[in-house]
Chain A
Amino acid sequence: MKTTALDAVHRALGATMTDFAGWDMPLRYGSEREEHLAVRERAGLFDLSHMGEITLTGPAAAAALDAALVGNLSALKPGRARYTMICNEAGGILDDLIVYRLADQEFMVVANASNAQTVLDALRERAAGFDAEVRDDRDDCALLAVQGPRAEEIVAPLASDPEAVRALKYYAGLPAEVAGFPVLLARTGYTGEDGFELFVRPEHAEALWAALRAAGEPFGIAPCGLSCRDTLRLEAGMPLYGHELTAALTPFDAGLGRVVKFEKTANEGRFTGREALEKAAEQPPARTLVGLVAEGRRVPRAGFAVVDPADGAVLGEVTSGAPSPTLGKPLAIAYVDAGRAVPGTVLAVDIRGSREPHEVVALPFYKREK
Chain B
Amino acid sequence: MSNPENLRYSKEHEWLTLAAAGEQATIGITAHAADALGDVVFVQLPEVGAKVAAGEACGELESTKSVSDLYSPASGTVAEVNQAVVDDPALVNSGPFEDGWLFKVTLDQGTDEIADLLTAAQYSELTAD
Q: Residues on A close to B: CB < 8 A? A: 16, 27-28, 31-33, 227, 231, 297-299, 301, 322-323, 330, 352
Instruction: Pick the contact of B64: A32, A298, A352 (CB < 8 A).
Output: A32
Give CA–CA (A323, B65) in the complex, Å.
9
Chain A residue numbers with a CB within 8 Å of B66 are: 301
Task: Pick from B18-26, B36-44, B97-105 the stretch touching chain A.
Answer: B36-44
- The yes or no answer to B67 lying at the interface (CB within 8 A) is yes
Chain B residue numbers with a CB within 8 Å of A33 are: 39, 41, 64, 90
Q: Are A31 and B39 in contact (CB under 8 A)?
A: yes
In the complex, the chain A residue whose C-beta lies closest to that of B89 is A297
Q: Are A297 and B64 in contact (CB under 8 A)?
A: no
- The yes or no answer to B93 lying at the interface (CB within 8 A) is yes
Give CA–CA (A28, B42) in the complex, Å.
19
Q: Are B42 and A32 in contact (CB under 8 A)?
A: no
Known: A16-B35, A227-B38, A323-B42. 8 other contacts (CB 8 A): A27-B38, A28-B38, A32-B64, A33-B41, A227-B65, A298-B44, A299-B42, A299-B67
Q: Are B38 and A32 in contact (CB under 8 A)?
A: yes
Give CA–CA (A323, B90) in the complex, Å.
13
Known contacts A231-B64, A323-B64, A352-B67; is-contact A297 B42 (Cβ 8 Å): yes
Known contacts A31-B93, A352-B67; is-contact A298 B62 (Cβ 8 Å): yes
24 A–B contact pairs at CB < 8 A? Answer: A16-B35, A16-B38, A28-B38, A31-B38, A32-B38, A32-B39, A33-B39, A33-B41, A33-B90, A227-B65, A231-B64, A297-B42, A297-B62, A298-B67, A299-B62, A301-B67, A322-B64, A322-B65, A323-B41, A323-B42, A323-B62, A323-B64, A330-B62, A352-B60
In the complex, the chain B residue whose C-beta lies closest to that of A33 is B39
Q: Are B41 and A299 in contact (CB under 8 A)?
A: yes
Q: Residues on B close to A: CB < 8 A? A: 35, 38-39, 41-42, 44, 60, 62, 64-67, 90, 93
Give CA–CA (A27, B39) in the complex, Å.
12
Among B44, B60, B64, chain A packs the most CB atoms within 10 A around the CB of B64
Q: A-B contact count, CB below 8 Å?
A: 42
Chain A residue numbers with a CB within 8 Å of B67 are: 298-299, 301, 352
Least distance between B83 CB and chain A CB atoms (Å): 14
Chain A residue numbers with a CB within 8 Å of B62 are: 297-299, 323, 330
Least distance between A361 CB and chain B CB atoms (Å): 20
Give CA–CA (A77, B57) in the complex, Å.
58
Least distance between B28 CB and chain A CB atoms (Å): 19
Least distance between B24 CB and chain A CB atoms (Å): 27
In the complex, the chain A residue whose C-beta lies closest to that of B43 is A297
In the complex, the chain A residue whose C-beta lies closest to that of B35 is A16
Give CA–CA (A141, B20) in the complex, Å.
61
Least distance between B94 CB and chain A CB atoms (Å): 9
- Top 10 nearest A-B pairs (CB, nearest first) are A323-B41, A297-B42, A33-B39, A299-B62, A32-B64, A31-B39, A32-B38, A32-B39, A227-B64, A322-B64
Give CA–CA (A176, B92) in the complex, Å.
45
Chain B residue numbers with a CB within 8 Å of A28 are: 38
Give CA–CA (A274, B41) in the complex, Å.
45
In the complex, the chain A residue whose C-beta lies closest to that of B64 is A32
Least distance between B96 CB and chain A CB atoms (Å): 14
Least distance between B119 CB and chain A CB atoms (Å): 27
Least distance between B60 CB and chain A CB atoms (Å): 8
Least distance between A296 CB and chain B CB atoms (Å): 9
Q: Are A298 and B42 in contact (CB under 8 A)?
A: yes
Chain A residue numbers with a CB within 8 Å of B35 are: 16
Least distance between A151 CB and chain B CB atoms (Å): 23
Known contacts A227-B65, A323-B62, A352-B67; is-contact A297 B93 (Cβ 8 Å): no
Give CA–CA (A330, B65) in the complex, Å.
12
Chain B residue numbers with a CB within 8 Å of A301 are: 66-67
Give CA–CA (A352, B66) in the complex, Å.
13
Give CA–CA (A298, B44) in the complex, Å.
9
Least distance between B42 CB and chain A CB atoms (Å): 4
Give CA–CA (A140, B57) in the complex, Å.
49
Least distance between B38 CB and chain A CB atoms (Å): 5
